[in-house]
Amino acid sequence: MAAKVNARTITDDELFFGHKACAGCGGSLAVRAALKVLGPRAICALPAGCMSAVGFNFPQLCFANNAIITPFAATAAVLSGIEAGLRAQGKKPEDCTVVGFAGDGGTADIGLQALSGAIDRNDDILYICYDNEAYMNTGIQKSSLTPFGAKTTTTPAGKNAHGCLTQKKSLFEIVAAHGIPYAATASIGYLPDFMGKVQKAASIRGAKYLHVIAPCPTGWGCGVDETVEIAKEVVDCGLWYLAEYEGPQVSGVPGGKFTLNRDPKEFTSVAAYLRRQGRFRALSDEEVASVEQGRDEKWRYLRSL
Ligand SMILES: Cc1ncc(C[n+]2csc(CCOP(=O)(O)OP(=O)(O)O)c2C)c(N)n1
């Protein structure tokens, strides 16, 4: 059975189900939605992280398609190996997408060199980073994608410290700077946009990267029924953005082409977004104002591209 969403063929079948994710887990929604687009012949690789921890509980394996766990740092390298093996068997890449699902720690920190190498070789792989903004599986430690002010177990918040002191790394821009054929940002709050980008990525040969914001109620301190709403709000208040980069091979533009998919005339309140999450509870009004100022600077830059 198949349904059409945004004129694209999406399977009704569930390919990622029965897993042990926490209630309201955004990462599991991203994996489930992506596999509905890629279909049962997609081959997945997942490093250590929440999605492998909740998806591979023998004998209750939760992937209906082929899936493998990789060492923490090695997602992209394992994807490259699988792709080479399929090529040696004469399989067509458009039939079986080789896809990785890795968290922000596994992508922006420990897995970055493997990802960079795979993009440099332009291996025919799709790498999806589900960004829950911390190392969640091991108990909420800060990663380089944890935003300023977020409380984690390694960036505590109280009277003398107000959570994470560093800014979120712009991994999408780092990936785009490689001249990759296709990269995009997404949010599970805008699911058709995300699924459309998965479909587009699967149709492009060479390396592809998707970065999807996927809230984690356990780590963010919000209700388990708020995941999708918060994932929408982070885009609407401008602290995240929906964009695409198409490298010179795809766009024909030297240096590649950047597209903002959503450019709101007015943003919703940054303070309201931050204040509804327990992880930002210690932020002062001045710090909230500085986050808003950072957003405005970022958007001046994005709109100039
Ligand atoms: C080399 C290595 N270091 C540390 C670990 C322990 N470890 C397993 S999962 C994990 C956290 C993963 O965080 P992230 O990649 O952000 O994914 P999430 O858990 O948030 O889904 C860590 C530190 C490991 N498995 N291997």
Average pLDDT, the chain: 95
Exposure letters 237-264 (e unless 16+ CB within 10 A, then b): bbbbbbbbbbbeebbeeeebebeebeee
For tokens 């093996």, what's the residue?
85
Annotated domain spans of the chain:
7-304
- What would the two tokens of residue 26 be? 């955004």
Instruction: Give the per-residue pLDDT at 75.
Output: 98
Please report which confidence band the pLDDT of residue 3 belongs to, taking 50, 70 and 90 as the band edges: low
Mutational pocket test of ligand 1: of 46, 136, 137, the residue with most ligand atoms within 8 Å of the beta carbon: 137
Element (H, E) at 61: strand 60-61
Instruction: Give the per-residue pLDDT at 122.
Output: 98
pTM of the model: 0.97
Ligand 1: centre distance to CA 4 (Å): 36
pLDDT digits (tens, 9 = 90+) for 42-84: 999 999 999 999 999 988 899 999 999 999 999 999 999 999 9
**Ligand 1, atom 22, residue with closest C-alpha:** 138
Query: In the predicted model, is pLDDT for residue 190 greater than 80?
Result: yes
Ligand 1: centre distance to CA 122 (Å): 26
Ligand 1: centre distance to CA 120 (Å): 24
Q: Are 102 and 77 in contact (CB under 8 A)?
A: no
Query: In the predicted model, is pLDDT for residue 8 greater than 60?
Result: no
Ligand 1: centre distance to CA 138 (Å): 6
**Ligand 1, atom 4, residue with closest C-alpha:** 72
Give the count of beta carbons closer than 10 Å to the beta carbon of residue 167. Answer: 14
Pocket of ligand 1 (CB under 6 A): 27, 48-51, 72, 103-106, 132, 135-138, 143
CATH fit for domain 7-304, picks 3.40.190.10, 3.40.50.1980, 3.40.50.970, 1.10.357.10: 3.40.50.970
Mutational pocket test of ligand 1: of 25, 72, 171, 216, the residue with most ligand atoms within 8 Å of the beta carbon: 72
pLDDT digits (tens, 9 = 90+) for 99-125: 999 999 999 999 999 999 999 999 999
| 167-195: average pLDDT | 98
Instruction: Give the per-residue pLDDT at 1.
Output: 47
